[in-house]
C-alpha cells in the first residue's frame, strides 16, 4: 500500500543504508574531509540519528571499509577455466574498476590515512581494524592466486613472488590514481606481465620455481598475455 | 681528569643518548612492547627524567624513527661509478643490513603498527609524522635511483617502475623478516633482477622506456647482475 508517508526503516536496514551513503562519500573524497553532517544530510536523517546507529565516525568508516573490502575480495573470484594469463587479466580489470570507483578513499586508506598539516587533526588513521581488513583482502587475493596455480602448500619462494606482486599491484594502482597519467588498460596488462616476469626471475634463481613456471605457462595460448610478453621482449632484444 | 663521579650530560647529549637506547630497543622487539621503564633502565636514568626530555613514548619513538630514517636514507648513497647493476646490488646489501639490524621495529612500522588483540591498546600506530618519515625515505630512494639513471625529469612510466619497485623491495624485506626462509643474499640479487625485469616489461609497452632501457643496460659487463639475469632466463627457456 502506498500511503505517501515515508516508510520507517528497520535498524539493520537503516545501518546498511548509512554504510552505503558513507561509502559513497568516502570513495569520492578523502574520508577525513567527510563530516557526519554530510552523511546525515545525504541519508536524509538527522545528525543525532546517525549517532544512534553508529557511535562515531570511526565506527561508520570501519563498517564502510568492511563493505568495500568484501566487495573487492569478491572481485578476485574467477572461474577455474581457460588459460591463466587471461584469468589474471580479467581480475586486474575488476581490480582497477574498484580502484577507479573508490579512488580517494582507496588512496587515503592505503597511505595510512591522509597526512594533515601541522596543527590539523587526523581522525581516521589506520587502526588495528582497518589494518586487519586490508590484510584480509590481501590474503583473499593470495589464496585466489594459489588456487588458480593449483598449489596448496606454496614453497617460500612462491609465497614471496605472489605476496610481493600483490603489493606491486597495490602501489601501481596508487601511483595510477595520482594523476592517471598512464591508461589503466595498459597497467592492467602490464601487471599481468609483471607477474610473469617476477615468476621468471624467481625461476631463474630456483629449480622448484622453474618447474612450477613451466607447468603454469605450458598451456598459454599464442594470443594470451604471457606469450605476448615473450614476443614483445624478443622484439625488444632484436 | 677522572674523578670517578659520573659526568652530567648536557640536554642535547642526553636526548641523543635516549634516542640511541630507544632505537636499539625498538629495533629488537615490536615498539609497542617496549616500556618507558625499560628505556629508562637501559639508559641508567629514572623514568621521570625520560619524561623530562621527551613528553611521551610517541615523541621518543618518532625521534628514534627519525634517526633510523636518516640512517637508511644515507645507505642509498652510492658513488656514480661503475656499472649500474653492481651499484644497485651494493645498495640492496646495505638495505638488507638495515632491515636485519632493525627487524621487529621495521616490521611493526611498515605494517602500520602492530595489530593488537581485542581490548588491547595500541600506542604507536602510524601517525602523520611516521608516515611522512616513511615517505621521505621512499623519496630519497627514488631520487637516488633517478640520479644514477641520469634522468632529471622522469616520464610517468619510469616513475611508476621506480616507485613500484621500491614498494616491491619493501614487501620483499617484510616477507623475508617473517621467518627468514630464503637466504638474504639471494633476495638482494633477485631484487636487482626484479628491477631489470620491471624495466624490461615497461620497455615492452612503451618506446620511450625501450630507449631508456637500452641506454641504462648498454654498459653492463658480462659478470654484472643484469647480464647474469639474461643468461639465466635464456638457460631457463632452452
Yes or no, beta carbons of A112 and B112 under 8 Å apart? yes
Least confident of A219-223, B106-110, B189-193: B106-110
Contact flag B111-A131 (C-beta cutoff 8 Å):
yes
Sign of CA dihedral A136, A142, A147, A153: negative
Q: Residue B127 is nearest to which of A125, A204, A213, comparing CB atoms?
A: A125
Residues of A in contact with B124 (CB under 8 A): none
176-235 in B: which are within 8 Å (CB) of A?
Answer: 176, 179, 181-182, 186-187, 189-190, 193-194, 197-198, 200-205, 210, 213, 229, 232-233, 235
Residue A25 lies in a domain: no
Report the pLDDT value the prediction gives residue A115, as an integer from 0 to 100. Answer: 42
Q: Is the pLDDT of residue B121 over 60?
A: no
Residue A185: CATH number of its domain = 1.10.357.10
Over 90: is that where the pLDDT of A168 sits? yes
By Cβ distance, the residue of B126, B172, B233 closest to A204 is: B233
Asked if residue A22 is part of any domain, the answer here is no
User: Mind telling me how many Å the CA of B176 is from chain A's nearest CA?
Assistant: 8
The closest alpha carbon to B133, from B55, B34, B54, B63, belongs to B63
From the list B111, B122, B201, the residue facing A193 with the nearest CB is B201
Instruction: Please identify among residues 98-137 of chain A the ones whose CB lies closer than 8 Å to any CB of chain B.
Output: 111-113, 115-116, 122, 125-128, 131-132
pLDDT confidence tier of residue B124, bands split at 50, 70 and 90? low
Nearest by CB: A115 against B131, B189, B201: B131
Within a domain: A220: yes
Q: A200: nearest CA in chain B?
A: B233
Closest by Cβ to B126, choosing from A116, A125, A167? A125
Q: Does B163 sit within 8 Å of A167, measured CB to CB? A: no
* pLDDT, average across residues A149-154: 96
CA distance A29 to chain B (A): 18
Nearest residue of B to residue A193 by CA position?
Answer: B201
pLDDT digits 0-9 by tens, A124-145: 656 778 889 999 999 999 999 9
Mutate which of B96, B124, B194, B211 to test chain A, going by most A C-beta atoms within 10 A?
Answer: B194
CA distance A206 to chain B (A): 10
The minimum CA-CA distance between B124 and chain A, rounded to whole Å, is: 10
CB contacts < 8 A (A, B): 124
Among B175, B213, B235, select the one facing A163 at the smallest CB separation. Answer: B175
Q: Cβ contacts of residue B163 below 8 Å, gap of 6+?
A: A171, A175, B138, B142
- Confidence (pLDDT) at A83: 95
Residue A125 lies in a domain: yes
Average of per-residue pLDDT across B51-64: 94
Residue A169 belongs to some domain of the structure:
yes
CA-CA distances (angstroms) from residue B38 to A86, A216, B22, B66, B163? 55, 52, 9, 20, 38
Query: CA angle at residue A122 from B133 to A169, to 5 degrees?
Result: 60
Cell of A209: 620455481
For residues A150-167, average pLDDT: 97
CA distances for B16 relative to A60, B2, B32, B198, angstroms? 42, 23, 21, 41
Confidence grade of residue B129 (pLDDT, cut at 50, 70, 90) = confident
Give CA separation, B69 vs B26, B56, B62, B139, in Å: 13, 20, 10, 11
Q: Please tell me the total count of domains within chain A.
A: 1
pLDDT above 70 for B133: yes
pLDDT of residue A112: 67
* Domain extent for A136: 68-237
A46/A36 Cα distance (integer angstroms): 10
Residue A160 has pLDDT above 90, yes or no: yes
Whole-number Å distance between alpha carbons of A74 and A76:
5
Q: What's the pLDDT score for residue A88?
A: 98
Chain B residues touching residue A112 (CB < 8 angstroms): 112, 126, 131
Work out the percent of chain B whose per-residue pLDDT is above 90.
80
**What's the confidence (pLDDT) of residue A130?**
86
CA-CA distance, A165 to A194, in Å (whole number)?
8
Name which of B128, B193, B204 is nearest A115 (Cβ-Cβ): B128
Q: Is the pLDDT of residue A167 over 60?
A: yes
Whether A196 maps to a domain, the answer reads yes
Buried b (16+ CB within 10 A) or exposed e, B139-151: ebbbebbbebbeb
> Is A40 inside a domain boundary?
no
In a domain, B232, yes or no: yes
Question: Cell digits for A173?
Answer: 594502482
Among the residues of chain A, which ranges form H helices?
Answer: 11-28, 36-43, 47-53, 57-75, 84-101, 103-110, 128-149, 156-177, 184-203, 207-217, 225-237
Q: Which of B77, B96, B87, B79 is nearest to B196 (CA)?
A: B87
Amino acid at each position: 500500500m502506498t500511503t505517501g508517508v515515508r516508510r520507517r526503516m528497520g535498524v539493520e536496514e537503516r545501518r546498511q543504508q548509512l554504510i552505503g551513503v558513507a561509502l559513497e562519500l568516502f570513495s569520492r573524497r578523502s574520508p577525513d574531509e567527510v563530516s557526519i553532517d554530510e552523511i546525515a544530510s545525504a541519508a536524509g536523517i538527522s545528525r543525532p540519528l546517525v549517532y544512534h546507529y553508529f557511535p562515531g565516525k570511526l565506527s561508520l568508516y570501519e563498517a564502510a571499509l568492511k563493505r568495500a573490502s568484501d566487495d573487492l575480495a569478491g572481485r578476485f573470484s574467477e572461474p577455474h577455466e581457460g588459460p591463466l594469463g587471461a584469468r589474471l587479466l580479467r581480475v586486474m580489470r575488476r581490480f582497477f574498476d574498484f580502484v577507479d570507483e573508490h579512488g580517494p578513499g582507496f588512496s587515503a586508506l592505503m597511505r595510512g590515512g591522509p597526512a594533515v598539516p601541522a596543527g590539523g587533526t587526523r581522525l581516521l588513521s589506520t587502526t588495528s581494524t582497518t589494518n586487519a581488513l586490508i590484510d584480509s583482502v590481501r590474503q583473499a587475493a593470495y589464496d585466489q592466486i594459489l588456487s588458480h596455480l593449483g598449489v596448496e602448500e606454496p614453497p617460500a619462494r612462491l609465497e614471496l613472488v605472489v605476496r610481493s606482486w600483490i603489493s606491486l599491484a597495490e602501489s601501481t594502482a596508487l601511483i595510477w590514481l595520482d594523476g592517471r597519467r598512464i591508461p589503466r588498460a595498459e597497467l592492467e596488462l602490464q601487471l599481468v606481465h609483471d607477474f610473469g616476469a617476477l615468476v621468471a626471475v624467481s625461476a631463474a634463481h630456483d629449480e622448484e620455481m622453474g618447474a612450477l613456471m613451466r607447468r603454469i605457462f605450458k598451456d598459454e595460448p599464442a594470443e594470451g598475455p604471457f606469450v605476448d610478453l615473450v614476443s614483445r621482449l624478443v622484439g625488444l632484444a632484436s
